[in-house]
Amino acid sequence: MMEFIVNNDFFKKAILEMSKVVSPKAPLPILTGIKIVAMKDCVTLIGSNSDIVIEKVLRNTISRVKVVDVYKTGSTVVSAKLLHDIVKKFPRNIRLTANDDHLVTMESDEIITTLNGFNPDEYPPLPKVAHDHYVSVPSKDLLDIAKQTVFAVSKNEAKPILTGVHLAFQKNYLSCVATDSHRLSFRKLKITSNLQRSCIVPSKAFRELITIIGSDSTTPIDIVITDHNVVFKSLFTTLYSRLIEGNYPSVSGLLQQEHKTIMTLNTTKLLNGVDRACIFASERRNHTIHFEVKGNSNFIISSNSTEVGKIEETQKLNSISGETELNISLDGSFLIDTLKVIKEEEVRLSFSGSMRPVLIEPVGNDLHTYLISPVRSY
Amino acid sequence: MMEFIVNNDFFKKAILEMSKVVSPKAPLPILTGIKIVAMKDCVTLIGSNSDIVIEKVLRNTISRVKVVDVYKTGSTVVSAKLLHDIVKKFPRNIRLTANDDHLVTMESDEIITTLNGFNPDEYPPLPKVAHDHYVSVPSKDLLDIAKQTVFAVSKNEAKPILTGVHLAFQKNYLSCVATDSHRLSFRKLKITSNLQRSCIVPSKAFRELITIIGSDSTTPIDIVITDHNVVFKSLFTTLYSRLIEGNYPSVSGLLQQEHKTIMTLNTTKLLNGVDRACIFASERRNHTIHFEVKGNSNFIISSNSTEVGKIEETQKLNSISGETELNISLDGSFLIDTLKVIKEEEVRLSFSGSMRPVLIEPVGNDLHTYLISPVRSY
């Protein structure tokens, strides 16, 4: 038995977020559902897919608004898709009850709906995680880090390690690395940590972190790492993810190079220019874009496709030092991914030769580093 | 040879609309393109798919804004997709030139792109339509009519006649009918017409009319009908469509029935109720929703699926006359389509028995009539 009344606005938002996580194609039918647990002072929602588990808590009162009123504690599991379809179409607060036969009834105004639920005892238990060793990170910083690294992970499942983001907690730093071996994103964050360890977090978990925790948290996010799991815990939402097992490659050597040419450009203008050049850069040829320096202050971005056409544009360099002869081809989509997550107005590109990786850094921020390997264009 | 400068905002909007019409999969490569014709005082864009042709005119000046400046008259044909990709990413006004080898160059600021165009002489000519016999219809009214009928056409190509909307111009009325033989929409508009004839317009043309002409016109739309074509002409846009050949069935008999029960309800509430009931109404079973009158003033909307669950809600009738015993099953998606296009606050449902079509009309407007046949629910 279970019975509670819930504020429809809060319930709708929570169910929407949960139903995006829960896969309707889960092999076990019960995993297509959301587990609803009514306790004395809150209602908890649990949903999962093959990579992560999300737990969301609706407390009795949130920001002085009455959110839930629990009459009988208990639990049930209901199809996430149905729950979402119903809740978004219900006009007002909902009375939700479940009986011993797992029949779930939802009432709102003159509307009554009855659903066949699942036996909540058959829902797999949450991973057990002791919350005694954790690092607290401001949520805004954690979300920035996630966005600024996760795009660079490998999409190739053949090397599972590279499909995740490597997190390393040191005494004064959290460092994050993602690479697909053609490009790399390295991001550091100053923190105070009593945890000294590292792990590889699946990119899906990092992406969910951005969408789910990002929408609810202004408070810090606690990170707990166990042997097989990582947990991100914000005020109302907890995300559990399995870890990817294995040893992440060391990348420090890649970041130390001698540079022949160093130049700075406006970030947005460069992004727009590369984006335009990509019109003619096909995926089949690695979105190849050509870059050239001409006459000491002109940066020429071009691409061409013999069948379709070509494009060329000239941008003014803000500064250039070193050799002013430069001719290199890069994957335009990699450069776009990188420039999109750089918030700083100016960006520095450091070149070591036409077959060596290009270093990309925001000017005035030494905590980001991006590397992109050139493509052979002949 | 051709050369003009065009205001990017106007060009972008026009190319976006055209590129939605032009099919990138057209069997003849030139038909994947947009024909651009520069004349002394305007630039014309022409695009087509298998059903319709759209012609858009950019005059030198629109609402006192300089739009085009033609230096050399001429024409070219360029891939609609490429043109769209480029124009949306170009920051400022564009200089467009075409040479005798059909090479098209577009310049904006420090950006130059060159495209392989098609020979404009190979683009099929527009249908010849004399503009001497036409009917002028206020655009708002024409768009309303289109929206209020086109949803009811048949999706089954086996009966081509029913995939179109039947337009009949009489002396004082334009009447429009669409039906898929399970439901019907009948809409009249008071006009003064010196044209007395009828035609069947493909639903795709009517849908394009809504999106394309709808966005640009506050002035009347002129309608010209020839033996094989219909033309809708607004200030800047002309839509040519082939007609569907054949005789449209007469529907007047269907609209005259004796009604056993007539009731009125709030349109939006009914729409929301049916929408909720559809959660449990599967496509496989024709979205069957049950309706029942109870105790003289209660209207009960319900649906159920043995595997999933059921829903039931009670709405108050505004009025009821005739027999107060009623039990009928309808396709909920048909009812939703109909209620969505009714703007009036109150709707009248007239029933003639559980196996006879239901008549649906907005209260206070005798120019709309909708019919929906019941589904057998046993």
Name which of A72, A70, A113, A71 is nearest A90 in CA terms: A113
| Cβ distance of B312 and A90 shorter than 8 Å | no
| Cβ distance of A89 and B314 shorter than 8 Å | no
Condensed to tens digits (0 to 9), the pLDDT of residues A265-315 reads: 999 999 999 999 999 887 777 789 999 998 889 999 999 988 889 999 999
Mark A21-39 as b/e (b = at least 16 C-beta within 10 Å): bbeeeeeeebbbbbbbbbe
Tokens of B28: 């003849």
CA distance A52 to chain B (A): 26
Task: Tell me what the mean pLDDT of segment B50-73 comes to.
Answer: 92
Name which of A284, A331, A354, A367 is nearest A180 in CA terms: A331
Min mean pLDDT across A254-258, A282-286, B112-116, B200-204 is at A282-286
Q: Who's near B360: CB < 8 A, 6+ residues apart?
A: B335, B338, B339, B342, B347, B348, B349, B350, B369, B370, B371, B372
User: pLDDT band at residue A329, thresholds of 50, 70 and 90?
Assistant: very high
Condensed to tens digits (0 to 9), the pLDDT of residues A123-166 reads: 999 988 877 778 999 988 998 999 999 999 999 989 999 999 99
Task: Tell me what the mean pLDDT of segment A315-333 comes to.
Answer: 93
Name the residue of chain B whose CA is nearest to A309's CA: B115
Question: Chain B residues with CB inside 8 Å of A311's CB?
Answer: 86, 111-114
Question: Chain A residues with CB inside 8 Å of B280's CB?
Answer: 113
Could you give all domains of chain A from N- to C-terminal order, each with its CATH number? Answer: 2-122 (3.10.150.10), 135-242 (3.10.150.10), 257-372 (3.10.150.10)
pLDDT at residue A219, as a whole number: 83
Residues 262-281 of A with CB under 8 A from B: 272-273, 275-276, 279-280
Mean pLDDT of chain B: 92
- Pick the more confident residue, B161 or B134: B161
Q: Is the pLDDT of residue A378 over 60?
A: no
Tokens of B163: 């995939």
Mean pLDDT of chain A: 92
User: pLDDT band at residue A377, thresholds of 50, 70 and 90?
Assistant: low
Rounded-to-integer distance, Cα B207 and Cα B204, Å:
5
Task: Tell me what the mean pLDDT of segment B103-130 comes to.
Answer: 92
pLDDT at residue B22, as a whole number: 94
Q: Is the pLDDT of residue A351 over 60?
A: yes
DSSP letter assigned to residue A161: G
Rounded-to-integer distance, Cα A104 and Cα A72, Å:
14
pLDDT at residue A192, as a whole number: 85
Condensed to tens digits (0 to 9), the pLDDT of residues B208-264 reads: 988 877 666 678 899 999 888 999 998 889 999 999 999 999 988 777 778 999 999
Write the CA distances from A292 to A18, A73, A171, A303, integer angstroms: 48, 68, 42, 11
Tokens of A292: 């050239």
| Cβ of residue B8 closer than 8 Å to a chain A Cβ | no
Q: Which of A311, A314, A316 to mutate to test the interface with B (most CBs of B within 10 A)?
A: A311
| Cβ of residue B311 closer than 8 Å to a chain A Cβ | yes
- Tell me what ipTM this predicted complex has: 0.84
pLDDT at residue B296, as a whole number: 82
Task: Tell me what the mean pLDDT of segment A27-43 comes to.
Answer: 95
Name the residue of chain B whose CA is nearest to A311's CA: B113
Task: Tell me what the mean pLDDT of segment B321-325 comes to.
Answer: 90
What number of C-beta contacts closer than 8 Å exist between A and B? 84
Q: Is the pLDDT of residue A217 over 70?
A: no
| Cβ of residue A91 closer than 8 Å to a chain B Cβ | yes
pLDDT at residue B215, as a whole number: 65
User: pLDDT band at residue B34, thresholds of 50, 70 and 90?
Assistant: very high
Question: Chain B residues with CB inside 8 Å of A89's CB?
Answer: 272, 275-276, 279
